[in-house]
A and B are shown apart, each in its own frame.
Chain A
Amino acid sequence: MDILITGLLLGGTYALIAMGLNLQYGMARIMNLANGEFLVAGGFAAFWFYTAGQVSPLLTLFIVAPLAFGLNWLIYVVMLRPLVKRAKSHGQLEVDAILTTFGLAFVSVGIMLALFGGDYFSYSYLARPITLIGDTYALNRVTAAVAAVIICGGLWLWLNRNRAGMSIRAIAVDPKSARLVGIDVPKLSALAFALGGAVTAVGGALISTFLTLDASTGVMFTLKALVIVIMGGVGDVRGTIVAALLLGILETFVATLIDPGLTLAAAYLLFVLILLFRPQGLFGRRTT
């Protein structure tokens, strides 16, 4: 029971991060391997504001989100759009996007190393116990999970009720047909990419309240987010949330009962099972 709830709390934050990646990969069709670095950058921002000015990480979200949005929008328009235009096929774009964002990931790690050094950073925010159904949990984990649920809910509503959100979902289904019904694909792809970056950075700020990060941990989060997105089905919001919760529980399970050093191995176990038995994702439809 203890493991289950800790896992669910962790999974809630994972859902937010994976949602960011899903917006970028599923909707904007860019495999962004620099996703985790934005998470770490968001965490850095929260850490910096908290230690320097005692600003609550929850307030920092309102600074982190627009900054990350703007930066990701710039990255898409300046660096990725030329690749989209130049690509002759989807495969070509995929290879180019992977190499570019991987390069970007290293550049951001390099910059963060230069700015903050290679040390682990953590701070103590809301590190108080709270009792839920008879067991005690850290308040910061609960807060982060609740914030993640609120943001995920908001995103889900936006994608299902708002016109721009629904257009983005149409692009996720089929970019070519989306153009036929008058959707401005280049503009909305940039929007989805920027929004994805903002969501991930917010997730990073939340996760930094209870996990220790350092400049080079980004790639681990990218991998986990990718596993979640593929498991849930690319472009599928509901699947992402379910998959994130599953991964959170499995990881906590492995970390508590076997060894805390095996979390990635746990994620990979899920990944292999999905690839072997349901490559289209839990809720995805088989493409022809």
Chain B
Amino acid sequence: MTKRDWQSITLSAVLLAVAACLPLTGDAYMLSIGITIAMYAVLATSWALFSGPTHYISMATAAFFGLGTYTTAIGIENGLNYWVTLPIAAVLGAVLAVLVGLATLRLSGVYFVIFTLGLAELVRQVVTWGQNVSGQKGLYVLTDITEVHIYWQLLVLAAIVYLTGWAIGRSRLGFALRIIGDDEEVARHSGINTSRAKILLFMVSGATAAVVGSVLAPRYIYIEPALAFTPMLSFLVVIMALLGGTGRLWGPLVGVIPFTLLWEAISASFPNQTTLLLGLSFLVIVYLLPRGFVGLIESGKRKLREREAFA
């Protein structure tokens, strides 16, 4: 590890410690916003782990999230300990990712986008149907877990995701993925098993989203398919990650914080205009910020350096 690695690890640890102190303020509203930000930070970062280097846009976060929520809810109803349901959710999320990956990731990227776009809706229809057949409507998740616990769990999860992302970035797998993103043909010719690499990374991303779903299940208390599989979640994750920029591990976080605050403000005062905002954000990303805030920051830095060089 180089000196810079140590520097960034220390900085991240300090930031994480500061973030962990948020509940000490005792402000319930701050904590609730904190949970939302932490949740999207984990989801967007793990999304970018896969979609960043490969440019395969996954619209399926909600499917994995809902899967996790339902795993915890059903597990607790059947007498399982809450903590046992988290690893189960991770495994189920990874299994779903493998199935989706096997069907679509061997083919061109468009099939993957289309398939993931409808995946949450598909799972929702199947779950609703299952409930109709069994005559059950929703599920109660009654635990003694409070908001503060959820927040801290999300922070731990964030730390794990960042460490995983950092490790993948340095591994052969991360290198292979960057080549796939540049040119899949070249990657195949240099002996990379492209489908295997893509499916492996999609598993990491899917398992993480499922665990986030489990962690948040106690917050909802009452769970029904329309809530757990809301497609809005997938789109928000895509926008936040792309807005921040997927070129760096910390990129999505830069998008998550301002967008969550903006989203909260707009939903509070103009609840009917959120769809419009969502659409405009996509257009802004494509036309004005193709590399996200990260791209903006880095080109700013470069200009500054050039100016210094001339002076």
Contacts and interface: CB of A to CB of B under 8 A. Distances in A.
Same complex for A and B? Answer: yes
A40 interface: no
Nearest to A269: B122
Nearest to B184: A91
A19 interface: no
B136 interface: no
Interface stretch (B148-156, B164-172, B193-201, B282-290): B282-290
B160 interface: no
A48 to B, nearest CB: 20
A264 B109 contact: no
Contact of B279 (A106, A114, A226): A106
Interface in B57-91: 57
A110 B275 CA distance: 5
Interface residues of A, number: 44
B28 interface: no
Q: Is the interface of A mostly helix, strand, loop or mixed?
A: helix
Interface in B247-290: 272-273, 275-283, 285-287, 290
A158 B27 CA distance: 67
B279 A110 contact: yes
Contacts of B110: 31, 94, 98
A74 interface: no
Contact of A275 (B107, B128, B132): B107
Contact of B122 (A103, A226, A264): A264
A33 B272 CA distance: 22
Interface in A208-249: 216, 219-220, 223, 226-227, 230
21 contacts: A83-B286, A92-B55, A98-B57, A100-B287, A102-B235, A103-B278, A103-B281, A103-B283, A103-B286, A106-B280, A107-B276, A107-B280, A109-B279, A114-B273, A263-B125, A265-B125, A268-B115, A268-B122, A271-B114, A275-B103, A276-B103
CB-CB nearest 3 A-B residue pairs:
A103-B282, A110-B276, A106-B279
Interface of B: 55, 57, 103-104, 107, 109-111, 113-115, 117-118, 121-122, 125-126, 128-129, 132, 235, 242, 272-273, 275-283, 285-287, 290
